[in-house]
Structure 1
Amino acid sequence: MTSVLPPVTLDELTQLTHRASTVIERLRERVFAPGNQKQLDLRFNVRTAAEMVGRTEKAIRDAEGDGRLPEPDKDPDTQRRRGYTLSQVNQMREVFGTLPHRDPEDSALVLAVQNFKGGVGKSTVVCHLAQYFALRGYRVCVIDCDSQASTTAMFGMNPDVDVDEDEDTLYPFLRHGGPKSLHYALRATYWPGIALIPANLGLYDAEYEFAARMAREPAFILDRLREGVESIADQFDIVLLDPPPALGMLSLSVLRAANALLIPAPPNNIDFASTAHFLKMMEATLSELAQHGGARDYAFVKILASKMNDQKSAHMAIKRMMDAVFPQDMLQATLKDSAEIDNATANLSTVYELTGAATRTETHRRCRAYLDAVGREVELLARKTWPSHHRALRKEGML
């Protein structure tokens, strides 16, 4: 029996792809600054800056008065201070000795936000965690290992235009005879303190190449990404890995490269079942990988209830079950399902980037509180891995 629908040809699919690219370009033109370069417009008043730096407002004024710190820019019309940028806040932290960096003897936290299922909020968690840590003054590297490149786009780069797979992504490093380190791929971002190794669709080819070479060179394939992360880790406090949402060679490499795991898991039946399968597959996979390159230990493995909706009784019931089944493994904080996150993402942005009237709504305040709570808990876990922070943690009553 012949279909009444005309067949969709390859030419028509090509046209569809071009139209999709046009939509992305128009979106970039609308939400990005002139020249298609995203900029960070955050400004902090002296009270907020003092809280971020851990010093008094007077101490900041005094430092400006004696020349240790420059005074903030003034509005040319009103001559009022425009507030401090994040770079200026970090300059204050440096002057006052309150930057939270780990000691060189401590190992960088290499945190993979990992789940083999898509749609659980991985990239959302990665982007917001990176920006939370940057606001706190840490040195952050985000490595986009996903050929869909959502994280790359969120940080202001068009994967199809701004990113060259042969120069800017992990792909050259993962090939045999590639660069000795990942320094070639590090890109500065518009966020002070955050560097990015971007991705694009070309990274998908690495999956095929890795699979073809796995039988011949298992140690090289499994540990190549780990070696790359180690080649740049001395520059950062936190390295965040955003892997593909599938059980493939890149995902396995991420599991080998990380020294801590955060597993986003929405509290619904399908996603919770998927997370349970993920944990089972991860245990079996790591056991198999250990035979090829030694066991891999993690500083911590935590499950984050993501896309949580307190108004849904099913979500609350499954969350209670998750807490009962994983009493030591769940983050206490949850990432709520929020229109604020959805609206920001629609503009290739994050909640931490919003300014002006958008930040004065109750919805924004609630969402920011959820994100900050997740960030604080992960930050505490990170600091517990650094011996240089243990004295301060004991003083704070956190250890």
Structure 2
Amino acid sequence: MNPALIPVTLEELTVLSRRASTVIERLRERVFAPGAQKRLELVFNVRTAAEMVGRTEKAIRDAERDGRLPSPQKSETTGRRNGYSLTDINRMRKLFGTLPHRAPNDQALVLAIQNFKGGVGKSTMVVHLAQYFALKGYRVCVIDCDSQASSTAVFGLNPDVDVHEEEDTLYPFLQHGGPKSLHYALRATYWPGVAIIPANLGLYDAEYEFAARMARDPTFVLDRLREGVESIADQFDIILLDPPPALGMLSLSVLRAANALLIPAPPNNIDFASTAHFLKMMEATLSELARHGGAREYSFVKILTSKMDDQKSAHQAIKRMMDAVFPQDMLNAVLKDSAEIDNAAANLMTVYELTGAATRTETHKRCRAYLDAIGREVELLARKTWPSHHPRLRKEGLL
């Protein structure tokens, strides 16, 4: 008698994998610009440029008129300005002295978006925070520590084609006798001000190798990523770490490398229970890690309510409980569940890089508003870690 289900062979799984790769390639061809290179299409009118730069429209026009800034490009048909790119905006900021960079004596913020559970919005927050900070003029680095490489893909790199584990990812650095710094892996992105150290599936091998080495050389395993981050930190204001969604060696390394943590936590029973377990595991893990290399302190640890649905009474109830249990530890801003984020992600994009009619809908404006609110709150926390920003924060009444 034949069985009801026929066993799936390795050969059939190989075919399935190849078909999945074909789908990814077709998606890439559809959403990426010609030549397989994403481009940032954002342009800003002079009013928005003035707001971003912190100067008047007249100051910008005067600087263009007297040659301190390039003359604006104009449409051949209408004679109107074509608008300013983010590169143009940063050129203005440099001229007027309004770039928000930290002082050389300030420590770069190394922020891990960390939770051991998958699907809570880690990569979503990494890419949106990176782009929020870039729009503000900060120097940003994204380090993709997750072999699933979601952040890598959003920033325009196909992990299976554009990224080689032996040359482009963390993997060589994590080997004994590897490179002395992470400069070899830094890649510029199509976003001015954002660099990335990409990931691909090969990074998963580091988990096995680190685990095998842990008993022999725990200090190397736990501190290697931190040393790598320190080797490039002088080039950036903010370094964002996107860790794997599991309690593994790379996740532990991320906890050691970061100097601040943001923990996304959806307000449902299963995800919140997982977050509570994560906090308990993190406490025990950091206590154990301290025995091998000293205690690790963080400038801040904040919990972000993610994937919040205001229409669900259970979400509202758990959110109230989270606010009551963690009154000083929650971000005020909330990452709400939004089709806008999902639709952008389906095209390997973020809400911040959408252009045209898509940005004029109320749905987009609401989504952009709460992403900006999260960005502003994290930006303020970052600035509070930089002594050079304290006088300005006091003047603004924020310190």
Query: Shorter-chain-normalised TM-score: which range?
Result: over 0.9
How many Å separate the matches in 2 of 1:387 and 1:371?
Answer: 26
Tell me the residue number matched to 1:74.
74
Q: Which amino acid aligns with 1:93?
A: R
Shift of 1:13: 1.0
Equivalence for 2:222 = 222
Letter of the 1:258 partner, please give it: A
What number of residue pairs does the alignment pair up? 399
**Structure-2 residue corresponding to 1:17:** 17
- 1:204 aligns to what SS in structure 2? helix
- Partner in structure 2 of residue 163 of structure 1: 163
> SS of the residue aligned with 2:43?
coil
In 1: Cα distance, 2:177 partner to 2:46 partner: 51
After TM superposition, the runs of 4+ consecutive aligned structure 1 residues lying more than 6 A away are: none
Alpha-carbon distance between aligned partners in 2 of 1:55 and 1:287, rounded to the nearest angstrom = 49
Which residue of structure 2 aligns with residue 44 of structure 1? 44
Matches within 5 A, 1:1-399: 3-399=3-399
Q: Secondary structure at the match of 2:239?
A: strand
Q: Distance in 2 between matches of 1:318 and 1:378?
A: 23
Q: Please tell me the residue identity of whatever aligns with 1:73.
A: Q
1:5 CA displacement: 2.2
Quote the Cα distance in structure 2 between the aligned partners of 1:193 and 1:72: 21
Please give the alpha-carbon distance, in whole angstroms, between the structure 2 residues aligned to 1:62 and 1:165.
Answer: 49
List per-residue Cα deviations over 1:212-232 (Å, max 9, x = no partner): 000110001100000000000
Report SS of the residue matched to 2:38.
coil
Q: What is the identity, as a one-letter code, of the residue corresponding to 1:88?
A: D
1:247-302 alpha-carbon deviations (Å, 9 max, x no partner): 00000000000000000000000000000000000000000000000000000000
| CA drift at 1:2 | 5.2
Q: Matched residues in 2 for 1:11 and 1:79: separation?
A: 62
Deviation at 1:81, TM superposition (A): 1.1
Task: Give, in whole Å, the separation in 2 of the partners of 1:51 and 1:14.
Answer: 53
Q: What SS is found at the alignment partner of 1:323? A: helix
CA distance in 2 between counterparts of 1:142 and 1:74 reads 34
Q: Which amino acid aligns with 2:263?
A: I
What letter is aligned with 1:50?
A
| CA spacing shift, 1:73–1:3, aligned 2, 3 Å | farther
Q: CA shift at 1:3, angstroms?
A: 2.5
CA deviation profile, 1:140-178 (whole Å, cap 9, x unmatched): 000000000011001111101000000000000000000
**Alpha-carbon deviation of 1:71?**
2.0
In the TM superposition, what is the alpha-carbon distance from 1:56 to its structure 2 partner? 0.3
Distance in 1 (alpha carbons) for counterparts of 2:3 and 2:267: 41
CA distance in structure 2 between the aligned counterparts of 1:152 and 1:97, rounded to whole angstroms:
32
Q: Secondary structure at the match of 1:171?
A: coil
* Alpha-carbon distance between aligned partners in 2 of 1:10 and 1:64, rounded to the nearest angstrom: 64
Deviation at 1:354, TM superposition (A): 0.2
How far apart, in 2, do the equivalents of 1:154 and 1:76 lie?
34
The separation in 2 between residues aligned to 1:398 and 1:380, in whole angstroms, is 8
Q: Distance in 2 between the 1:73 and 1:173 partners?
A: 44
* Letter paired with 1:178: G
The structural deviation recorded for 1:10 is 1.1
Instruction: State the shift of 1:12 in Å.
Output: 1.2
Structure-1-length-normalised TM-score: 0.99
SS of the residue aligned with 2:116?
Answer: coil
In 2, Cα distance between equivalents of 1:133 and 1:76? 33
Cα distance in 1, alignment partners of residues 215 and 261 from structure 2: 27
Distance 2:73 2:217 in 1: 56
Percent identity, please: 85
- Residue 40 of structure 2 contacts residue 191 of structure 2 at CA under 8 Å; is this kept in 1? yes
Q: Please give the root-mean-square deviation of Cα atoms over the aligned residues, in Å.
A: 0.7
SS in 1 for 2:78: coil
> The residue matched to 1:391 in structure 2 has which SS?
helix
Distance 2:86 2:162 in 1: 25
Given that 2:64 and 2:72 are in contact with CA atoms closer than 8 Å, whether structure 1 keeps it comes out as no
1:80 CA displacement: 1.9
What code does the residue aligned with 2:344 have? Answer: A
Task: Name the CA distance, whole Å, in 2 between partners of 1:371 and 1:151.
Answer: 17
Deviation at 1:4, TM superposition (A): 2.1
